[in-house]
Structure 1
Amino acid sequence: MSSFASISPEKLSRLIGTPECPVLIDVRTEEDVAVDPRLVPGAIRRRAEDAPGWGQEFAGRSVIVICMRGGKLAQGAAAWLRIAKAAAETLEGGFEAWKAAGLPLVPTTKLPPRDAEGRTVWVTRARPKVDRIACPWLIRRFVDPQAVFLYVAPSEVVAVGERFRAAPFDIENTFWSHRGELCTFDVMIEEFALATPALLRLAGIVRAADTARLDQSPEAPGLLAASLGLSRIYDDDLAQLDAGLALYDAFYRWCRDATGESHNWPTNKVKP
């Protein structure tokens, strides 16, 4: 059973992908990361020994600290975070327990370079509809919560990526793009090793909506309608992205928790 200062892998796995997920900080040593260069989805890297200096950055926030086995590095860093007024816990059993449970791990080799503030930077075409909101949602919720997204003219995506060290996505002839029948959202799930049942179900909806094959998913017309509606409501692409995150949060929770539930009103009871 978890103590007040720790959380089990199973409980944490239910928080990842939701807006309520705490900040996840991986404090494994460089040697340990070199042996297995993967991260719990959404985790950021920090040196445990430097926690007295960086702890204040997370004041007032909920934090889970992850080391190799939930021992001294995570315990010490979490203690310093609590000194800085963060609500800090450790992951029970650490990275090894997470891996033993068969839970997703994101390969760091697939992440683009980070900027001076530690964020991944991505660039795509302006005026997003489906994939260009779905992919940022996936990245923010499962890969890099601090990720930055640049929306630019289609003709300038690749050039902006080169000049500003941003990873182009959902544009032809780039790594993060459609592959055969797969849309960019599918590709990111595959490359980031995030193929959970809920995300695969959501991917089917996104693919059908994004590629105009609405017959492949009963939910796809609804997603497409909501996406097109958002694109009409917002002139600012980043404001549309913020609104779209809530839309995909709802679709994800339906995919994960509510596919067996139906609307039960009216009851259609026979009147006496």
Structure 2
Amino acid sequence: MPAPNAIIPDKLARLIASASAPRVVDLRDGVAECIPGSTFPAHPDPTGWGYAAGSAVVTVDADGNGSAVAAAAILRSEGVAAEVLEGGFAAWAAGALPTVSLAHLPPRHVDGRTWWVTRARPKVDRIACPWLIRRFVDPEARFLFVAPGEVLTVATQQQAEPFDVAEEGVFWSHRGERCTFDVMVEAFGLEKHEPLMRLAAIVRGADTDRLDQVPEAAGLLAISLGLSRIHSDDHVQLEAGMVVYDALYRWCRDAQGEKHNWSSHQPSRGKASA
């Protein structure tokens, strides 16, 4: 059993990349990889991290016996539901659980968030990529949507990372038959996470009009085009799209084997008694 006010890696792994996931606060310095969705506090005082009473937080250090213990205790004194990752990052890594490579993470703004910019009126890739970033890389990431010809100008002016634009020198863009979502999965070191690889195939098929790749690609394209017609505000559309990708990810992770038809959920009828 985990220690009091601690969470084991396997349990946390079931929560990451979901809308209800706790905030994972990594207290290690100079790290090259982290747990998906991790944040890194700008200063050491937990009372200034801005978490509201009742919010859920998991603190992480190297082995679960260092600064994370005190930080979680201080947060609990503020009414935050804070737990320590039992065994720290070492236990997470030992369990071969998903990690995010920080090698290609853009510099953070003074607000502690990464900023990204892309073309307005998103369809597939430009919703899928923000979902991936917010769920696995930076939960507080800011996204800017502008006219296609303004992407690089805004990127320079606002120090925002451009993505999904066909411009020379843009790292986050299509490469051959791979879409931008594929590039991000690989660059952030998530290519061994099977649910994401299943999702990447769906996104690729929908975004590149290769709907024969996987059956779900046509459905994602239809939903994406419908969302773009329902919402005139790109940010409102992004929030609606987050729910779609949350559902697709969960299906890719643990619902592929479930069938649904007229009889699959009917209660079983016992034999009549003699």
The TM-score, its normalising length taken from structure 2, stands at: 0.92
Q: Contact 1:214/1:221 (CA < 8 Å) preserved in 2? A: yes
Q: Is residue 151 of structure 2 the alignment partner of residue 154 of structure 1? A: no
Which letter maps to 1:245?
M
SS at match of 2:45: helix
Task: Tell me by how many angstroms 1:75 deviates.
Answer: 0.4
Q: Is residue 213 of structure 2 the alignment partner of residue 219 of structure 1? A: no
SS at match of 1:109: coil
Which letter maps to 2:218?
P
Q: Contact 2:199/2:252 (CA < 8 Å) preserved in 1? A: yes
Task: Tell me by how many angstroms 1:223 deviates.
Answer: 0.3
Query: Take 2:144 and 2:70, find their aligned partners in 1: how far apart are those partners?
Result: 37
Q: Contact 1:22/1:64 (CA < 8 Å) preserved in 2? A: yes
Task: Tell me by how many angstroms 1:55 deviates.
Answer: 4.6
Identical residues among aligned pairs (%): 56
Equivalent residue for 2:24? Answer: 24
Q: Contact 1:202/1:255 (CA < 8 Å) preserved in 2? A: yes
Q: Is residue 106 of structure 2 the alignment partner of residue 112 of structure 1? A: yes
Task: Tell me by how many angstroms 1:102 deviates.
Answer: 1.4
Equivalent residue for 2:8? Answer: 8
Task: Tell me by how many angstroms 1:204 deviates.
Answer: 0.2
SS at match of 1:110: coil
* Corresponding residue to 2:240 among 237, 240, 243: 243
Q: 1:194-239 CA distances to partner (integer Å, 9 max, x unpaired)?
A: 1211000000000000000001110011000000000000000000
CA RMSD of aligned residues (A): 1.5
Q: Structure 1 138/73 Cα, relative in aligned 2: closer, same or farther at 3 Å?
A: same
Task: Tell me by how many angstroms 1:49 deviates.
Answer: 4.2
Q: Structure 1 74/46 Cα, relative in aligned 2: closer, same or farther at 3 Å?
A: same
Q: Contact 1:58/1:81 (CA < 8 Å) preserved in 2? A: no
* Corresponding residue to 1:210 among 183, 192, 207: 207
Equivalent residue for 1:46? Answer: 41
Query: Take 1:4 and 1:214, find their aligned partners in 2: how far apart are those partners?
Result: 49
Q: Is residue 159 of structure 2 the alignment partner of residue 165 of structure 1? A: yes
* Structure with the larger helix share: 1
Range moving further from structure 2, 220-229 or 1-10:
1-10
Which letter maps to 1:145?
P
Matched positions, count: 262
Q: Contact 2:56/2:82 (CA < 8 Å) preserved in 1? A: yes
Q: Contact 1:55/1:81 (CA < 8 Å) preserved in 2? A: no
Q: Which runs of 5+ in 2 are unaligned?
A: 267-274
Q: 1:245-264 CA distances to partner (integer Å, 9 max, x unpaired)?
A: 00000111100011111113
Q: 1:109-167 CA distances to partner (integer Å, 9 max, x unpaired)?
A: 21111111100000000000000000000001000000000000001111110110000
* Corresponding residue to 2:197 among 182, 197, 200: 200
Equivalent residue for 2:116? Answer: 122
Query: Take 2:135 and 2:146, find their aligned partners in 1: how far apart are those partners?
Result: 23
* Corresponding residue to 1:186 among 168, 182, 191: 182
SS at match of 1:260: coil
Which letter maps to 2:161?
A
Q: 1:83-126 CA distances to partner (integer Å, 9 max, x unpaired)?
A: 11100000010011111111222222211111111000000000
Range moving further from structure 2, 39-48 or 62-71:
39-48
Q: Which runs of 5+ in 1 are unaligned?
A: none
Equivalent residue for 2:131? Answer: 137
Q: Contact 2:228/2:237 (CA < 8 Å) preserved in 1? A: yes
Q: 1:23-71 CA distances to partner (integer Å, 9 max, x unpaired)?
A: 110112x3xx3xx4211111111278422x4255343210000000001
Q: Is residue 88 of structure 2 the alignment partner of residue 94 of structure 1? A: yes
Q: Contact 1:106/1:143 (CA < 8 Å) preserved in 2? A: yes
Query: Take 1:243 and 1:49, find their aligned partners in 2: how far apart are those partners?
Result: 35
SS at match of 2:12: helix
Q: Structure 1 227/237 Cα, relative in aligned 2: closer, same or farther at 3 Å?
A: same
